[in-house]
Amino acid sequence: MNGIGGEEVTARAEPARPLEWKFAQVFGERAFGEEVQEVDIISAIEFDKTGDHLATGDRGGRVVLFNRTDTRDHGGNRRDLEMADYSPSRHPEFHYKTEFQSHEPEFDYLKSLEIEEKINKIRWCQTANSALFLLSTNDKTIKFWKVQEKKVKKVCDMNVDPSKALGNGIVCSSISTSSKPCIANGGCVNRTFNYLSTDFSFPPGGIPFLHLPRVMSHETSSVARCRRIYAHAHDYHINSISNNSDGETFISADDLRINLWNLEISSQSFNIVDVKPANMEDLTEVITSAEFHPSHCNMLAYSSSKGSIRLIDLRQSALCDTHCKLFEELEASTSRSFFTEIIASISDIKFSKDGRHLLSRDYMTLKLWDINMESVPVATFQVHEHLRPKLCDLYENDSIFDKFECCLSGDGLRVATGSYSNLFRVFGCSEGSTEATTLEANKNPMMRQVQTPSRPSRSLGSLSRVGRRGTDSSGADTNGNAFDFMTKLLHLAWHPTENSLACATSNSLYMYYA
C-alpha cells in the first residue's frame, strides 16, 4: 500500500508530459475532390475490452470489423529479439476482418414513419468459444450479433474438372482418357469421346484412375449471424445502448425512457427510467445519453438536454424516478442567452475505467466529474471557445445541434473529443497538467497542433470558468485557418490499454498512436 501511495504522490507531483501523436493507419481514405456517398459515412466506432478488435458502423446500416494483427506476445530470448530488430514501441496494427449488413431501411406504416438504417451505436459483449458478440442499433431496433470463424470446405480430387461442368454439375465437355492403347479392364482407347450433358455415359473403355472426391478444409472466413432482435420497445429514437458488467443485461435509451434488457430474452424489457410527463407541453428536458457503471452492475448514469447528469441505483426501486446523485453546474444568470440551454445539452458521457470519474461533452466543453462530488466538475476543458461569437451562424446552419462524442484513456490521465475541420483535441487531466493538443485527422496529425494557453488551476476553490470568454473571437483557429463546419469529427475511441486513438471522419477511419 505504501508503495502504491508513493507512486500516486509522484504522479501528482510530476504530471505526465504531453504525448507526441503519430499516424498509424487509415482505412477508406478518399482522394482529393472525391465525392462521398451518404451511406458510407461512419456513424459509430468502438473498441472491445481487450483492444484487439474494432468495430465501425455507417449510415448504410453496415458494421465493419477490424482485428489486431501485430503480435504482442513476442516469444524467444533477448538475443533473438535483437536479431529480429524488434521495436517494443511499435504501434498496434489493425487489418480488415469482415463486414455485414446489420440494419435495413424500414417503414412504420402505423406512424407513417421511415426508419433509417443508420447505425447509432455499437457495443461489444463478452466473448465465448472464440466467437465475437456485439450489439448494434439504429433508431428503433437493437440486434445481437455473433461473429465466428468458419473453415471453408471444398471438394477436391474430382474425376471431372469442375471448370468444365455446368452449374448443375453435369458434364458438357469432353473427357480425355489415357493415351495408352490398353487399360486394366481390357478396353482399348485411342480417341476422345464428346458427350452432351443429357447423353452422358462412360466411354467403352471406361475411365482409368477413377477415385472418390475428397472434402478439404481451406482458408477460414468470418461469418456473422443475428442471434436476437430487440424491437418494439421505443417510441422515440434510440440514442444509447450500454452493456452491464454482469454480462447478462444491457440498457437502451431514447429521448424519454431507459429500458433494461436481458441478452437472452428479446420479447420483453423493463422500463427503469421514464421522464415523459402526463402532458407533453410540460416537457422541459430529454435524455441524451446513458451508460452503465463499469464495475457496479446496479449503477448507471444518464445525461439530459439541460446539461445535468443523474446517477441512479437500480436497487432503490423498480422504476428509478428519483436519482441518488445529480451532477450539474449552474450557469450564472447574468451570462444566460438564447443559446445557453442549447449548448448546455450533453451529447455523450463516459465512465473512467475505474468508475471513479464521469466525462461529459456538451457543445463547447468537456467536463470531468468525480462521482463523489456533485457540485462542480474537477476539470473543464474548452474545446472550441473561439466559436462562441458565431453561435448565431451555427444555429442558422444547424451545426449547433451536432453531437460530439468523447473518450478517456485507459489510465485515466487524458481525455479526447472531436471538433470541426476534422480536428480532434487531447487534454491531460492529471493534477497540474497543461496538456491541450489540437490535431487534424490526416496522415500528418501534428500539422495543426497549436499551443493552447495554460488553463486555470483545478484546485477545488478555483474551478471557475476563468478564460471561457474572449479567448478567440475569430472564425479561424490560432494558425489562421478558417473552420469548415461541414467537415466534423464526431466519433472517436481510445484504445483500452494503450495510447492509441481511432477517429472517424466522413467515410475514413484514421488511427494514431503515441
pLDDT tens track, the chain, 514 positions: 444 444 444 444 566 788 999 999 999 988 777 888 999 999 999 999 999 999 999 999 999 999 999 865 544 455 554 555 545 456 789 999 999 999 999 998 888 889 999 999 999 999 988 899 999 999 999 999 999 988 877 777 766 655 544 444 444 433 344 444 444 444 444 544 444 455 556 666 666 666 778 887 777 888 999 999 999 999 999 999 999 999 999 999 999 999 999 999 999 999 999 999 999 999 999 999 999 999 999 999 999 999 999 999 999 888 888 899 999 998 766 677 889 999 999 999 999 999 999 999 999 999 999 999 998 999 999 999 999 999 999 999 999 999 999 999 999 999 999 999 999 999 999 888 899 999 999 988 775 544 443 343 333 333 333 333 233 333 455 444 567 788 999 999 999 999 999 999 999 999 999 9
Q: Which helix (H) or strand (E) holds 27?
A: strand 22-27
Between the CA atoms of 132, 133, 139 and 141, what dihedral angle is there, to the nearest 10 degrees?
Answer: 130
Cα angle 160-161-163, degrees, rounded to a multiple of 5: 135
492: its cell numbers? 472517436
How far is it, in rounded angstroms, from Cα 359 to Cα 412? 10
Determine the Cα–Cα distance for residues 216 and 395; give it in Å rounded to an integer: 62
Report which of 73, 53, 75, 74 is spatially closest to residue 64, judged by C-alpha positions: 53
CA distance 155 to 67: 30
Q: How far apart are CA 273 and CA 275, in angstroms?
A: 7
Structure confidence at residue 151 (pLDDT): 81
CATH class of the 23-72+90-141+226-449+482-513 domain in this structure: mainly beta
Rounded CA separation 191/206 (Å): 12
Q: What's residue 78's pLDDT?
A: 52
Polymer length in residues for the chain = 514
Q: pTM for this one?
A: 0.78
Q: How far is CA 344 from CA 106, 309, 403, in A?
A: 33, 12, 12
User: Please, what's the b/e burial string for 28-60 (b: 16 or more CB within 10 A of its CB; e: otherwise)?
Assistant: beeeeeeeeeeeebbbbbbbbeebbbbbbbbbb
Question: What are residue 283's phi and psi, to 5 degrees?
Answer: -70, 125
Helix segments in 246-348, DSSP class H: 340-344
Local structure of 489: helix, strand or coil: coil
Residue found under cell 482529393: 32
Residues 512 and 24: beta-carbon distance below 8 Å: yes
| Separation of alpha carbons 448 and 331, rounded Å | 32
CA distance 105 to 59: 10
Instruction: Give the per-residue pLDDT at 218.
Output: 73
Q: What is the pLDDT of residue 79?
A: 54
Domain extents in the chain: 23-72+90-141+226-449+482-513
Cβ–Cβ under 8 Å, residues 427 and 378: no
Residue 340 main-chain phi, psi, to 5 deg: -55, -50
Burial class for 71, CB neighbours closer than 10 Å (0-12, 13-18, 19+): exposed
